[in-house]
Structure 1
Amino acid sequence: MIGDVARRSGVSARMLRHYESLGLVRPTGRTDAGYREYSGEDVRRIFHIESLRSLGLSLREVKRALDDPGFTPSELVDDLVRQTRERIAAETELLTRLHRIGAAEPAGWEDVLRVVALLQGLGSKSAGARQRAALSSVDEVPVPVEALVEAVLGESDPNVAGALRWALAHSGDGGLALLAQGLGSPAAEVRKRAVQSIAEIPGGEATALLRDALANPDVAVRRYAASALGARGVADAVPTLIDMIVEEANDVDAADALSALASRPALADRIATGLVGRLAHDTVDSSARRRLTQALADIPGSTASRALAELSHDEDRAVALTAEYILGIRDAR
């Protein structure tokens, strides 16, 4: 009887009647009293139905799978895999959003709604909306730093990226660990955005990350880190800054950073020696030697002055003239 089958199968009597109405399972017969009778085969079919339903099949798909001799499951299984992945992605996104709302520690539903609006703004297709959300994240209910890091590492619009970096810098150093992971991304643009963001965050922890970035395999990361460290007065940046002058990669900024570092007497001779050493290198071409000579202009001290005096007699006429001109300016000071 239907009650016995319901107990044995774990399927409610109401659902068994629904299966029967759809033609999924039919009782073998009825008793004299009119009760449904299910055979062992009927019960096995009920278990098969439940097994297929557990995979996410609709009842129509279950009926087709059980009744169609020509049914091949591969296409349906592939479709189920795709649907499941999409569902997992959607649920994961929801879980992430809920965690971020919780991390903002909202005091009430108004705060929750503001956080949701800001998170939606950060994910908007409109660059203007993303920028407004980034700027608002500082003044309104704070957006969790994880959301800001995710946004800045994926942002291609320079204005929005600038606003996001500004917001990150005002949120403290909580995002540095995530930005450090960004430095190891396989995507060059993500690595670049990570180091740019770290460069705008003050404090010793950010400086330590920038020092580590000087050894990054990505030359662009090394250059951004060196420029930022030069502005922070960190001498470790000197070799990379000199490389930038030689390679004509943001060489003006690199020369300015060296000049700022050389304002510390302890570093002036070290920087001048580094520049002179590269000038003497056989692999450095004429234009690079001129840039190195120009960089000596703002390096104080006797080492730089002696180097310029020697360079004023250099075989390369352009280098000699550059050194002579710089010496004239230095003598006039």
Structure 2
Amino acid sequence: MIASKRILITGGAGFIGSHLCERLLKDGHEVLCVDNFFTGRRQNIAHLLDEKRFELLRHDVTFPLYVEVDQIYNLACPASPVHYQFDPVQTTKTSVMGAINMLGLAKRLRKPILQASTSEVYGDPTVHPQVESYWGNVNPIGPRSCYDEGKRCAETLFFDYHRQHKLEIKVIRIFNTYGPRMHPQDGRVVSNFIVQALRGEDITLYGDGLQTRSFCYVDDLASGLVKMMATPSEVTGPINLGNPVEFTMRQLAERILALTDSKSKIVHRPLPQDDPKQRQPNINVAKKILEWEPTVQLEQGLQSTIHYFDNLLRGHQHPIS
């Protein structure tokens, strides 16, 4: 029996954060969910509010936080281009100041802290698939750099706190993740395609549609986060978490059209600046150290996600806003 812990999740009302809250509650822990609701949504965690071991605190991580916890998962940051480019200065502050504040809390408590980093630290990669030792190919002054460089700086801070203060850190790099509770207007490809298909609107493919992504179902990712936190103190990462099975954007669009039985047409739009052409994780380190790899196949995960969005559009769940 695992001893119950009090666990802080920043960004806990977000897409991934809410699933992690559920997972840790299911494992018998107390969860302190912290979110400022910039992109997180109260409806994502509404079903948890009556749970005695769940606590919700509205707070912006760019300001210090003083609480007593046993572990910290730092997930707070807008994660889709639509949201992180809306206020790029705040995005950078959330990544950098948020990391400083949460690391300061972990240092005071002498407790482990996990940083949810991103595959975006690799930029538009020249190494494929991406391995953790690759330093990346990032434009430091482009429209995506508020997120890319913010997350890179956060990783720097984590390892400096580890070296300078002997803090127990865990850094994972999240690759494309999808599933129920994705924000319907976050501009990410899975939610975009599903909503467009269900509404019978044109499905927008950027560029030639041959750029690739790898899609990890959110339950698999949450499992990887928990496994990483449970590793011995000498395991710091960074470790890639994602699904290594690669699909082109056109293949994804065609799969969603088939699953939704939609009559939507595929149309092409110009490729956004600095949009990576390839994105695929090498997860050999996760397999070896965490004994983790995804188990949910794309078709199965898409069906659950389509069901969620179908209910949302029909008004059976909270309205799109």
What TM-score range do you get, normalising by the shorter chain? Answer: under 0.3
Normalized against structure 2, the TM-score is what?
A: 0.24
Normalized against structure 1, the TM-score is what?
A: 0.24
Which protein is bigger by CA-based radius of gyration? 1
Higher fraction of helix: 1
